[in-house]
Amino acid sequence: MTRVPLALAAVLLAAGCATPVQEPIPVYVPYAVPCDVAEPARPRMDTEHLSPTAKVDVQARAMRAEIDRREAYETQLRVALRACTAPSSVPKESFHD
């Protein structure tokens, strides 16, 4: 009686040795890298340097110019942010076959 469980255990252990070797699977793990993109310089806004007694047409002209400058600055900031947050691609040549 005790030979049957021992034989069964021996067969199961031998079967475990006969399984084929599995190939390693690459696991991609994100890691922090420093962002080397320089922060764009903030432009001089015209409305910040207006005198409180400036005429309405001067104020309106400064506000219109500021909108264009601010939009260009925001675009530069978005480009810098995308460069720092974009996922990096790993070339296939870096893996060993």
Quote the number of domains for the chain: 1
Query: Three-state SS for 70?
Result: helix
Q: How many residues does the chain have?
A: 97
- Residue 59 in domain: yes
Residues 66 and 47: beta-carbon distance below 8 Å: yes
Domain of residue 73 covers 42-86
Distance, CA of 8 to CA of 26 (rounded, Å): 36
From first CA to last CA, the distance across the chain in angstroms is 50
For residue 46, give the DSSP letter. Answer: G
- Residue 71 in domain: yes
- Residue 23 in domain: no
- Residue 19 in domain: no
pTM listed for this prediction: 0.54
- Residue 61 in domain: yes
What mean pLDDT, rounded, does the chain reach?
A: 81
Residue with the bigger pLDDT between 28 and 62: it is: 62
- Residue 81 in domain: yes
